[in-house]
Chain A
Amino acid sequence: MTTQTPVADDAARLAAFEARIAADESIEPKDWMPERYRSQLIRMMSQHAHSEVVGMLPEGNWITRAPSLRRKMILLAKVQDEGGHGLYIYCGTETLGVDRQELVQQLLDGKAKYSSIFNYPTLSWADIGAIGWLVDGAAIVNQTMLAKASYGPYARAMVRICKEENFHKKQGYEFMVTLARGTPAQKAMAQESLNRWWWPSLMMFGPHDADSPNSDELKKWGVKRKSNDELRQRFVNLTIAQVKAIDLTVPDPDLRYDEASGDWITGPIDWDEFWRVVKGHGPCNSERLGARRKAHDEGRWVRDAAMAYAEKQQRNNRETTERQQ
Chain B
Amino acid sequence: MASPALFPALLRLGDDRLVLGHRTSEWCGHAPILEEDIALANISLDLIGQANLLLQYAGEVEGAGRDQDALAFSRDAMEYRNALLCELPKGDFGVTIARHFFHGLFSVLQWQALSSSKDATVAGIAAKALKESKYHVRHAGEWVIRLGDGTEESHRRAQAAVDQLWPYTGELFMQPTDEAELVADGLVADVSALEGPWRAQVDDVLRRATLTVPETAWMQRGGRVGVHTEHLGHLLAEMQSVARAHPGAQW
Q: A-B contact count, CB below 8 Å?
A: 139
Residue B38 at the chain A interface, CB threshold 8 Å = yes
Residue A294 at the chain B interface, CB threshold 8 Å = yes
Q: Pick from B30, B33, B38, B145: contact of A80, CB below 8 A.
A: B38
Instruction: Check A305 against B146 for contact (C-beta < 8 Å).
Output: yes
Contacts of B68 in A (CB 8 A): 69
Instruction: Check A301 against B242 for contact (C-beta < 8 Å).
Output: no
User: DSSP majority for the B interface?
Assistant: helix
Nearest to A66 among chain B residues (CB) is: B242
Instruction: Check A76 against B28 for contact (C-beta < 8 Å).
Output: yes
Contacts of A299 in B (CB 8 A): 31-33, 36, 93
Residue B89 at the chain A interface, CB threshold 8 Å = no
Task: Fill in one digit per residue for A179-220: 1 if any B CB lies within 8 Å of its CB, else 0.
Answer: 000110110000000000000000000000000000000000
Instruction: Check A308 against B151 for contact (C-beta < 8 Å).
Output: yes
Contacts of B55 in A (CB 8 A): 69
Size range of the chain B interface in the assembly? 35 or more
Contacts of B249 in A (CB 8 A): 67, 182-183, 185-186
Residue A14 at the chain B interface, CB threshold 8 Å = no
In the complex, chain A residues 296-325 whose Cβ is within 8 Å of any chain B Cβ: 298-309, 312
Say yes or no: A79-B28 contact (C-beta < 8 A), given A65-B242, A67-B246, A87-B38.
yes
Contacts of A60 in B (CB 8 A): 28-30
Residue of A53, A56, A69 contacting most chain B CB atoms (<10 Å): A69
Task: Fill in one digit per residue for B30-53: 1 if any A CB lies within 8 Å of its CB, else 0.
Answer: 111111111001101100110110
Residue A112 at the chain B interface, CB threshold 8 Å = no
Contacts of A87 in B (CB 8 A): 34-35, 38
Instruction: Check B246 against A183 for contact (C-beta < 8 Å).
Output: yes
**A71 → chain B closest CB, angstroms:** 5
Instruction: Check B150 against A294 for contact (C-beta < 8 Å).
Output: no
Q: Pick from A66, A69, A84, A185: contact of B51, CB below 8 A.
A: A69
Task: Fill in one digit per residue for B225-248: 1 if any A CB lies within 8 Å of its CB, else 0.
Answer: 000000000000011011100101
Say yes or no: A305-B154 contact (C-beta < 8 A), given A72-B48, A73-B49, A299-B31.
yes
Residue B251 at the chain A interface, CB threshold 8 Å = yes
C-alpha gap A182/B51 in the complex (Å):
26
**B82 → chain A closest CB, angstroms:** 15
Nearest to B242 among chain A residues (CB) is: A67
C-alpha gap A83/B28 in the complex (Å):
9
Contacts of B25 in A (CB 8 A): 63-64, 72, 76
Instruction: Check B151 against A305 for contact (C-beta < 8 Å).
Output: yes
Residue A282 at the chain B interface, CB threshold 8 Å = no
Say yes or no: A302-B251 contact (C-beta < 8 A), given A63-B28, A183-B246.
no
Instruction: Check A71 against B251 for contact (C-beta < 8 Å).
Output: yes
Instruction: Check B72 against A69 for contact (C-beta < 8 Å).
Output: yes
Q: Pick from A125, A291, A309: contact of B146, CB below 8 A.
A: A309
Instruction: Check B241 against A65 for contact (C-beta < 8 Å).
Output: yes
Residue B69 at the chain A interface, CB threshold 8 Å = yes
C-alpha gap A53/B41 in the complex (Å):
13
Instruction: Check B42 against A79 for contact (C-beta < 8 Å).
Output: no
Instruction: Check A84 against B48 for contact (C-beta < 8 Å).
Output: no
Task: Fill in one digit per residue for B5-23: 1 if any A CB lies within 8 Å of its CB, else 0.
Answer: 0000000000000100010
Instruction: Check B29 against A301 for contact (C-beta < 8 Å).
Output: no
C-alpha gap A76/B250 in the complex (Å):
19
Residue B157 at the chain A interface, CB threshold 8 Å = yes
Contacts of A308 in B (CB 8 A): 150-151, 154
**A5 → chain B closest CB, angstroms:** 45
Residue B147 at the chain A interface, CB threshold 8 Å = yes
Chosen A-B contacts, 16 in total, with CB atoms closer than 8 Å, are A60-B28, A64-B25, A68-B243, A70-B52, A70-B251, A73-B49, A76-B28, A76-B45, A182-B250, A295-B31, A298-B30, A298-B32, A300-B32, A304-B151, A305-B150, A308-B154
Extra pairs beyond A69-B48, A79-B41, A299-B33 (13, CB < 8 Å) = A65-B242, A67-B243, A73-B45, A76-B25, A80-B45, A87-B35, A178-B250, A182-B249, A295-B29, A299-B32, A302-B36, A305-B147, A309-B145
Q: Please report B residues at the A interface, Cβ cutoff 8 Å.
A: 18, 22, 25-26, 28-38, 41-42, 44-45, 48-49, 51-52, 55, 68-69, 72-73, 92-93, 145-147, 149-151, 153-154, 157, 238-239, 241-243, 246, 248-251
